[in-house]
Amino acid sequence: MQNVTYILVFLLGTATAYKNVTKEFVVPLDHFGFQRNETFKIRYIESDEYWNRGNGPIFFYTGNEGQIEEFAKHTGFMWEIAREFEAKIVFAEHRYYGKSMPFGDKSLDNEHIGYLTSAQALADYAQLVNFLQGGKSLKPKYPVIAFGGSYGGMLAAYFRMKYPHLVTGAIAASAPVHMFSDMVPCEVFHRIVTSSFNVASKVCRDNIRQSWNVLRTFVANKTNADWLKKQWNLCVAVNDSKGDVQDLVDYLQTMYETLAMVNYPFATDFLLPLPANPVRSVCQYLSQKLTGQKLLEGIGKVLQVYSNYNGKGDCVDYKNTDYGNLNASGWDYQACTEMVMPMCTNGVDDMFEPRPWNYTQFSEDCHKKYKVYPRPDAAWLEYGGDRLQAASNIIFSNGLLDPWAGGGLLSSISDTIKAVVMIDTAHHLDLMPKNPNDPESVKMARQEHKRNIEQWIRNFRLNNA
């Protein structure tokens, strides 16, 4: 986990603090059965600073896998357009993340985690919207626009699809709604990671592809473990009889994936502190063809940028699978139940070690951890997967440098299910605070979002007049 105080200092140049309050809202533990009648509280962040209480819209962020402050802080787009739309802002925290825990610190235990589903979370959001409208007996007064990025973008889209009477339209940024079994090839994610590195430097990509063998051969000689520990600033030296080498390989793979995802044109601490254009930035250490220990030294420098950009000199904790600034422990359970997203690599179309998708293995691992088996078709059955023709008023935006775009909706399927494609951006840059380094593509995407929001609000008012 990153040190929070440092991050605040780090961001001072770019972050704007908006007036807001954090509130709590009581929701049922189980929306879909009647036997468990407990309730608990989810949190939400609210701002009425710009709101026209007469009929101003509600901009509602459907919180995803993490503490809600993190999304409120990085979704500058909503805050920046709130004034001109005279909108109320709400960021709702997803159950089982942050402080919205139904069973306190026991929530993630196997006997309590079962109420963590996207459908339960959306039902929480529906009750909250209903409350914000003043209750069901009143005609809805305020148009509600859902926003979300990544899994939050899927939720924004699904919120509109499942609750069209409550939600007027949705901006679903970088939402991998097709990243499910049999919808896209399992290689697609890592192909895009690789192509993002290729755009920065072909040599860099080739060095990374070579590095796996070099690393495995190098550490097979146990006397090299100390050199690597020192050179890479590892917390513990690799010991193959403990499975450390695989853990280190996995850590490095996650590192490249993350660098591609957050390859933003400015420095930010979203997920973790990184410099502007982080892929290009790390590729400077791998821009010449390297072999042997020289190659490992280069990878070591990449590792320092990724794990230590805050300059605190913390060792690289490659055995810890916590993900950046998001406290997203619950996501693994979601991935093991309804959000089964097959991923694989082949080492040819991507720069990783070949690793096929093995559903049997995946399913058994899930059962070991949570005593449940996944339902690989759940997202398709529940939310339509790649058959969204019947839905309306959703914008799906994607940046083509973002690995998740491989599971995104990239061409419009109707007048009201529209795709916005940014050729040169990473993961939901369009939702982030505007920045002098923003490419034209993201400025245009934000204009397009505003035009659609305006139209949805206009239609809401016509229909509710």
- By annotation, the residues acting in catalysis are 150, 402, 427
Q: Which is nearer to ligand NAG, 141 or 229 (CB)?
A: 229
Only segment of 128-136, 152-160, 235-243, 308-316 that touches ligand NAG (CB under 6 A)? 235-243
223 sits near ligand NAG (criterion: CB under 6 A): yes
Q: What is the x/- site pattern for ligand NAG, positions 53-92, by CB under 6 A?
A: -------------------xx-------------------
Q: What's the token pair of residue 302?
A: 């990449």
Query: According to CB under 6 A, which residues from 153 to 192 bind ligand NAG?
Result: none
HEC secondary structure over the chain:
CCCHHHHHHHHCCCCCCCCCEEEEEEEECCCCCCCCCCEEEEEEEEECCCCCCCCCCEEEEECCCCCHHHHHHHCHHHHHHHHHHCCEEEEECCCCCCCCCCCHHHCCCCCCHHHCCHHHHHHHHHHHHHHHCCCCCCCCCCCEEEEEECHHHHHHHHHHHHCCCCCCEEEEECCCCCCCCCCCCCCHHHHHHHHHHHHHCHHHHHHHHHHHHHHHHHHHCHHHHHHHHHHHCECCCCCHHHCHHHHHHHHHHHHHHHHHHCCCCCCECCCCCECCCHHHHHHHHHCCCCCHHHHHHHHHHHHHHHHHCCCCCCCECCCCCCCCCCCCCCHHHHHCCCCCCCCCECCCCCCCCCECCCHHHHHHHHHHHHCCCCCCCHHHHHHCCCCCCCCCCEEEEEECCCHHHHHCCCCCCCCCEEEEEECCCCCCHHHCCCCCCCCHHHHHHHHHHHHHHHHHHHHHHHHHC
437 sits near ligand NAG (criterion: CB under 6 A): no
Q: Which is nearer to ligand NAG, 149 or 403 (CB)?
A: 149
5 sits near ligand NAG (criterion: CB under 6 A): no
105 sits near ligand NAG (criterion: CB under 6 A): yes
239 sits near ligand NAG (criterion: CB under 6 A): yes
241 sits near ligand NAG (criterion: CB under 6 A): yes
* Size of the residue set binding ligand NAG (CB under 6 A): 22
Query: According to CB under 6 A, which residues from 245 to 284 bind ligand NAG?
Result: none
For residue 446, the minimal CB distance to ligand NAG (Å) is 18
Q: What's the token pair of residue 208?
A: 């990374």
235 sits near ligand NAG (criterion: CB under 6 A): no
18 sits near ligand NAG (criterion: CB under 6 A): yes
Q: Which is nearer to ligand NAG, 365 or 440 (CB)?
A: 365
Q: Which of 127, 198, 327, 346 binds ligand NAG (CB under 6 A)?
A: 327
17 sits near ligand NAG (criterion: CB under 6 A): yes
1 sits near ligand NAG (criterion: CB under 6 A): yes
Q: How many whole angstroms separate alpha carbon 173 and alpha carbon 155? A: 10
For residue 344, the minimal CB distance to ligand NAG (Å) is 11
Q: Which of 5, 360, 411, 463 binds ligand NAG (CB under 6 A)?
A: 360
For residue 320, the minimal CB distance to ligand NAG (Å) is 11
Only segment of 155-163, 360-368, 391-399, 419-427 that touches ligand NAG (CB under 6 A)? 360-368
20 sits near ligand NAG (criterion: CB under 6 A): yes
361 sits near ligand NAG (criterion: CB under 6 A): yes
Q: Point out which residues bind ligand NAG (CB under 6 A).
A: 1, 17-18, 20, 37, 72-73, 101, 105, 108, 221, 223-224, 239, 241-242, 327, 329, 358, 360-361, 364
